[in-house]
């Protein structure tokens, strides 16, 4: 049993699938952006606005908006968060970043709901033609205790750049909606093809068997 070729195969497979640890999102907690007055503690941002560093306001229906929240309620991280429902109905926000086709990306974010609005609020997150909806129950939330929860979603990139888009789904009217904060995206590496995954498992097995045989011979 020759261990070196097997070991090198495993190392190569690990290199292809190795994750990156730094978030690919710029300004994920929305701290960099326009000044927000302490009273009322929020600031409306219109559709297509780019004043939040790294982001563009992108509503599912043209002309709708969002709000930057500071002192109006408790953020999940830092000093700011977003209400994805502005004064003109459900809004959204998007950021485009570099990706590697075939790589899996993990999207994590903190979610809550405006305690002054509907108790159940739903947002959709979209990237690379893939999407998922998330719902938050604000029945026990308050402005000083928002009840933030962590959400996780994964997608597989198909292009060299990908737009990540969050937008409101429900309620589809009014001025209170989903709260969003602390967005992060991590590159988890190539999604193994079935054959590659099999080879990877086989490589690990060969290394383990080789080590076991060497211990017995020694």
Per-residue pLDDT of the chain (218 residues; tens, 9 = 90+): 454 444 444 444 444 444 557 999 999 999 999 999 999 999 999 999 999 999 999 999 999 999 999 999 999 999 999 999 988 889 999 999 999 999 999 999 999 999 988 899 999 999 999 999 999 999 999 999 999 999 999 999 999 999 999 999 987 766 789 999 999 999 999 988 765 555 545 554 554 445 444 444 55
pLDDT in the model for residue 195: 53
Q: Can you give the pTM of this predicted structure?
A: 0.81
Q: Identify the pLDDT of residue 21.
A: 74
- Token code pair at residue 148: 């933030």
Residues with Cβ within 8 Å of 48's Cβ and at least 6 positions away in sequence, in order, are 56, 57, 58
Q: What is the set of domains in the chain, with CATH numbers?
A: 1-18+196-218 (no CATH), 20-188 (2.60.120.260)
pLDDT at 217: 52
Q: Say if CB 163 and CB 92 are below 8 A apart.
A: no
pLDDT value at position 19? 54
Beta pairing partners, 56: 94
């Amino acid at each position: 049993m020759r261990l070196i070729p097997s070991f090198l195969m495993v190392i190569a497979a690990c290199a292809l699938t190795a994750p990156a640890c730094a978030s690919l999102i710029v300004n994920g907690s929305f701290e960099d952006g326009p000044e927000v007055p302490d009273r009322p503690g929020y600031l409306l941002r219109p559709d297509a606005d780019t004043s939040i560093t790294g982001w563009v306001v992108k509503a599912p229906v043209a002309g709708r908006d969002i709000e930057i929240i500071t002192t109006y309620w408790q953020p999940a991280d830092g000093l700011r968060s977003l209400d994805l429902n502005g004064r003109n109905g459900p809004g959204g926000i998007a950021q485009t970043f570099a990706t590697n086709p075939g790589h899996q990306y993990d999207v994590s974010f903190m979610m809550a709901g405006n305690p002054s609005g509907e108790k159940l609020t739903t947002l959709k997150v979209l990237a690379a033609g893939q999407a998922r909806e998330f719902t938050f129950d604000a029945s026990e939330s308050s402005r000083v205790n928002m009840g933030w929860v962590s959400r996780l979603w994964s997608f597989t990139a198909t292009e060299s750049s990908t737009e990540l888009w969050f937008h409101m789904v429900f309620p589809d009217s009014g001025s209170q909606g989903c709260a969003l904060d602390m967005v992060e995206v991590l590159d988890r590496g190539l999604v193994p093809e079935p054959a590659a995954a099999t080879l990877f498992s086989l490589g690990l097995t060969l290394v383990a068997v080789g080590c076991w045989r060497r211990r017995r011979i020694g």
